[in-house]
């Protein structure tokens, strides 16, 4: 199988699928991380964060880093035209917040502009803030999303319709 570093083992909510991250350093030119989902290897990236299955277990999303850019990847497809995901350093462990809606149709994550931070839902940019905080939580009906934000000195708990 793999003789290199395997990490981030993630089961789908129904327990029928498995995804994990592999670091392969066997070739200096192609070394990097890739995701294995249901036994299928994905594209190699410089780094990979936040493997997240959808609630219906059909989709897998994560952040891949390549060419100095973070990219949302859903089922192996790169969404490079979507705003770049924001990575936060929490005790020297970088992560983003990726969340699927309960019906698995919407994907939300945080992103950063030149001077602002915002939420992205299915590629659409939300309102600007001075900072954003997780977790991102969808309402049970998937019609609202909630997260923390800062605007000036005000700390907010934001609830947006989606």
Q: pLDDT (tens digit, 9 = 90+) per residue, 38-96?
A: 999 999 999 998 899 999 999 999 999 888 888 899 999 998 878 788 766 544 455 56
- Its pTM stands at 0.87
Both tokens assigned to 97: 């917040």
DSSP annotation of 45: B
Cβ(45)–Cβ(33) below 8 Å = yes
Query: Could you give the CA distance from residue 74 to residue 82 in angstroms, rounded to a whole number?
Result: 12
């Amino acid at each position: 199988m793999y003789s290199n570093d395997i990490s981030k083992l993630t089961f789908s909510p129904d327990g029928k699928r498995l995804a994990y991250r592999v670091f392969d350093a066997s070739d200096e030119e192609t070394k990097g991380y890739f995701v294995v989902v249901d036994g299928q290897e994905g594209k190699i990236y410089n780094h990979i964060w936040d493997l997240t299955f959808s609630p219906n277990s059909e989709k897998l999303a994560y952040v891949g880093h390549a060419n100095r850019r973070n990219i949302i990847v859903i089922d192996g497809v790169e969404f490079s035209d979507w705003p770049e995901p924001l990575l936060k350093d929490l005790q020297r462990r970088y992560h983003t917040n990726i969340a699927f809606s309960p019906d698995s149709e919407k994907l939300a994550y945080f992103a950063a502009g030149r001077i602002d931070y915002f939420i992205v839902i299915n590629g659409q940019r939300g309102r600007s803030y001075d900072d954003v905080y997780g977790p991102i939580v969808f309402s049970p009906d998937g019609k609202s999303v909630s997260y923390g934000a800062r605007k000036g000195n005000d700390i907010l708990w934001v609830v947006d319709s989606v």
